[in-house]
Amino acid sequence: METIQISDQEFTQFQRLIHQLAGISLSPAKKALVCGRLGKRLAQHHLHSYGEYFNLLTDKHHQDELQMAVDLLTTNETYFFREPKHFDFLRQQIKPGRPFRVWSAACSSGEEPYSIAMVLADLLGDSPWEVVASDISTRVLDKARAGHYPLERTSGISREHLSRYCLKGVGSQQGTLLVESKLRGRVNFMQLNLSKQLPVLGEFDLIFLRNVMIYFDIETKRQVVQRMLPLLRAGGHFLVGHSESLNGVVDSLQTIAPAIYRKP
């Protein structure tokens, strides 16, 4: 099958579209990524150019295809207990005796919120606690809700957590792992676009917004964080990825440790 190339003009159209929809800034270096992610969709619709596909996406009768394109262009790499020091910090913040709520704000395929849930279940058991997990991509949210992963993606989970919260596949499911249903039931997954007005979610003790702001320009970062901060309780903590910083983004938070901030 012939590979269809994307012109500079067509790429600019997709840059504007994904920024408008999701706040994501695609650099010119991402041209190959756009082709790699969307090429099969052109073939699916028997289209001959990215311009034709763009016109399809902007037709209001193809909202499902627009969501598919957003899903394909916003999928991020994730794994269980990524950046382990953040989970050590989470353990230190949990105080038995009162409800504890955590928001995994760019949860991708679910490894982060399930990691959080394992820590909360360890320390709080059946006490009141909740993990809210959101993402813009419906496709990864479907994977996250299922809680079903290839074994090679679960190497970050300790042996203790594996035995306590996971089921190893047998027979036709060999080579996979399922997060057990009780833990899955404590994670509330929802589709949410951080670059738009947020719904009423209540207050959180801790917000994870990790490894997503690298895709935003500085103004989008400011707007996203300003929308989220009212949902963080006073004394609560805001965590970003270790390669990210809130310097120049917000000045109302105190830096506690690398990539960890506190709301006074």
pLDDT 10s digits, 154-188:
999 999 999 999 999 999 999 999 999 999 999 99
Listed range (30-44, 90-104, 182-196, 222-236) with the worst mean pLDDT: 30-44
Alpha helices in the chain, H assignment, sequence order = 8-22, 31-44, 50-57, 63-74, 84-93, 111-124, 138-146, 159-165, 181-184, 218-228
Whether 1 shows a pLDDT value over 60: the answer reads no
pLDDT band of 146, cuts 50, 70, 90: very high
What is the average per-residue pLDDT within 224-246?
Answer: 95
**How far is Cα 233 from Cα 91, in angstroms, rounded to an integer?**
18
**Range(s) within the chain of domains with CATH label 1.10.155.10:** 8-74
Per-residue CA distances from 78 to 101, 113, 210 (Å)? 21, 11, 10
Query: Whose CA is closest to 240, among 258, 216, 218, 217?
Result: 258
pLDDT of res. 213: 86
Better pLDDT: 95 or 76: 95
Confidence (pLDDT) at 2: 59
25 vs 245, more confident: 245
Q: In 3D, which of 127, 104, 108 has the Cα closest to residue 116? A: 104
1 exposed, middle or buried (CB, 10 Å; 0-12, 13-18, 19+)?
exposed
Per-residue pLDDT, averaged over 219-244, amounts to 95
pLDDT > 60? residue 69: yes
Give catalytic residues, as residue numbers. Answer: 37, 135
Going by pLDDT thresholds of 50, 70 and 90, the confidence category of residue 75 is low
Q: Among 30-44, 77-91, 113-127, 181-195, where is mean pLDDT lowest?
A: 30-44
CATH superfamily of domain region 84-148+179-262: Vaccinia Virus protein VP39 (3.40.50.150)
Res. 236 pLDDT band, cuts 50 70 90 = very high
Q: Poorest-confidence range of 65-69, 109-113, 186-190?
A: 65-69
Q: What is the arithmetic mean of pLDDT over 236-259?
A: 93
Please report where in the chains the tokens 């997709």 appear, as a residue: 14
Secondary structure of residue 147 in the 3-state scheme:
coil
CA distances from 55 to 14, 25, 49, 52, 258 (A): 11, 20, 10, 5, 44
Length of the chain: 264
For the domain made up of 8-74, the CATH class stated in words is mainly alpha
Distance CA 98, CA 127 (A): 8
**pLDDT above 60 for 217:** yes
Tell me: pLDDT of 259 over 60.
Answer: yes
In terms of pLDDT, which residue wins out, 189 or 44? 189
Query: In whole angstroms, what is the distance from residue 150 CA to residue 129 CA?
Result: 28
**Token pair in block for residue 121:** 């279940």
- Are 70 and 40 in contact by the 8 Å Cβ rule? The answer is no
The DSSP 8-state label assigned to residue 241 in this structure reads -
pLDDT average, residue stretch 207-224: 91
User: 234: helix, coil or strand?
Assistant: strand
Sorted by sequence, the CB contacts under 8 Å of residue 79 that are 6+ apart come out as 111, 153, 155, 156
Mean pLDDT of the chain: 91
Which part of the chain has CATH 3.40.50.150?
84-148+179-262
When pLDDT is averaged across residues 54-63 and rounded to a whole number, the result is: 85
Amino acid at 100: F
